[in-house]
């Protein structure tokens, strides 16, 4: 089994080790999304510390897809020089960097987006600060065009998003050409992960859950399961 510190490659890009800094929100950009020297220095320090691949903070592809203050934008070529400073800083320290593209849809507000937020449906939900505007077909087409890599059917990514004393939560991104294929892909990914862990001799934790009316035998009670 490969070591954490072994060199690896992703789609032809060589990475010095398997340490990947997952995407975050740094809040170090100008109000319009322009990257700052402070952000470049921050990424430089990560690369200098030994991180093989840095995934940038999630970066909006259109101003109406911005969610938080100081978030980075990639919607205009006017930021090209600042982007070169960032990549240059990381490369000088032996690291690699890629970018996470996003349009947050209804998870923003009118003040941040500069307009009423867009979402698939104009509904009131907990995740939306306000009721968004329902997207038209033209809105969808324009946002997809602003995120060209989102149409690449070879897309795949794995992120560790949470740890507890008993578990590690993974987020796996994969894409299929249609809904049935994507559903089958999800099932196959889960099954292959279990097989890979088993074949590598890694422990597979088991948590028994007792249902009402059944012998608990030491398992969790129903009210303990969320």
Q: Is 61 exposed, middle or buried (0-12, 13-18, 19+ CB in 10 A)?
A: buried
Last residue of a domain, one of 94, 116, 148: 148
158 versus 194: the higher-pLDDT residue is 194
Convert the pLDDT of each residue in 137-189 to its tens digit.
888 888 878 876 554 445 556 667 677 777 777 767 666 677 777 777 778 77
Exposed e or buried b per residue across 65-85, where buried means at least 16 C-beta atoms within 10 angstroms of its C-beta: bbbeebbbbbbeeebeebbeb
Q: Is 7 found in the same domain as 79?
A: yes
Q: Is 28 found in the same domain as 7?
A: yes
Do residues 99 and 59 make contact, with C-beta atoms less than 8 angstroms apart? yes
Q: Is 124 found in the same domain as 51?
A: yes
Q: Is 116 found in the same domain as 41?
A: yes
pLDDT of residue 226: 46
Q: Is 49 found in the same domain as 24?
A: yes
| 224 band by pLDDT with thresholds 50, 70 and 90 | low
Q: Is 170 found in the same domain as 113?
A: no
- Mean pLDDT over residues 212-222, rounded? 53
3 versus 38: the higher-pLDDT residue is 38
Last residue of a domain, one of 93, 126, 148: 148
- Mean pLDDT over residues 99-111, rounded? 91
- Mean pLDDT over residues 75-103, rounded? 95
Least reliable range by pLDDT among 66-80, 106-120, 162-176: 162-176
pLDDT of residue 11: 84
Q: Is 114 found in the same domain as 203?
A: no
Across the chain, what does the average pLDDT equal?
83
pTM above 0.85, yes or no: no
Enumerate the H helices of 121-167 as residue ranges: 137-146
Task: Enumerate the β-bridge partners of residue 60.
Answer: 73, 102
pLDDT of residue 147: 72
Q: Is 106 found in the same domain as 162?
A: no
pLDDT of residue 21: 93
Q: How far apart are the first and last CA of the chain?
A: 35
Query: Using CA atoms, how far apart are residues 154 and 213, in angstroms rounded to an integer?
Result: 47
Helix, strand, or coil here: 188? helix
- Mean pLDDT over residues 74-103, rounded? 95
Last residue of a domain, one of 91, 115, 148: 148
Q: Is 205 found in the same domain as 119?
A: no
Question: What stretches of the chain adopt beta strand conformation (E)?
Answer: 8-10, 13-15, 20-21, 53-55, 59-60, 96-98, 101-102, 118-119, 133-134, 156-163, 168-174
Q: Is 179 found in the same domain as 142?
A: no
pLDDT of residue 121: 85
Q: Is 19 found in the same domain as 52?
A: yes
Q: Name, of 72-76, 139-143, 146-150, 222-226, the range with top average pLDDT.
A: 72-76
Number of folded domains in the chain? Answer: 2
Q: Which two tokens stand for residue 117?
A: 């937020």
Q: Is 185 found in the same domain as 96?
A: no
**CATH code, domain with 58:** 3.20.20.70
pLDDT of residue 151: 46
The domain in which residue 182 lies consists of 152-226
Cα distances from 38 to residues 5, 9, 25, 78, in angstroms, run: 28, 29, 14, 18
* Residue 148 backbone phi and psi in degrees, to 5: -60, -35
């Amino acid at each position: 089994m490969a070591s954490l510190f072994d060199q690896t490659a992703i789609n032809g890009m060589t990475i010095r080790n398997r340490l990947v800094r997952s995407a975050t929100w740094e809040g170090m950009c100008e109000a319009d999304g322009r990257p700052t020297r402070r952000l470049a220095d921050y990424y430089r320090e990560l690369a200098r510390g030994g991180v093989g691949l840095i995934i940038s903070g999630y970066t909006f592809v259109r101003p109406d897809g911005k969610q938080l203050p100081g978030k980075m934008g990639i919607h205009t070529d006017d930021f090209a020089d600042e982007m070169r400073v960032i990549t240059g800083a990381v490369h000088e320290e032996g690291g690699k960097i890629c970018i996470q593209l996003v349009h947050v849809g209804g998870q923003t507000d009118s003040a941040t987006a500069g307009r009423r937020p867009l979402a698939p449906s104009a509904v009131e939900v907990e995740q939306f600060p306000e009721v968004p505007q329902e997207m038209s077909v033209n809105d969808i087409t324009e946002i997809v065009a602003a995120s060209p890599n989102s149409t690449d059917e070879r897309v795949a990514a794995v992120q560790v998003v949470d740890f507890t004393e008993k578990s590690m939560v993974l987020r796996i991104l994969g894409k299929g050409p249609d809904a049935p294929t994507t559903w089958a892909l999800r099932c196959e990914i889960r099954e292959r992960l279990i097989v890979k862990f088993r074949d590598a001799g890694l422990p597979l934790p088991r948590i028994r859950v007792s249902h009402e009316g059944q012998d608990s035998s030491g398992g969790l009670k129903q009210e303990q399961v969320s």
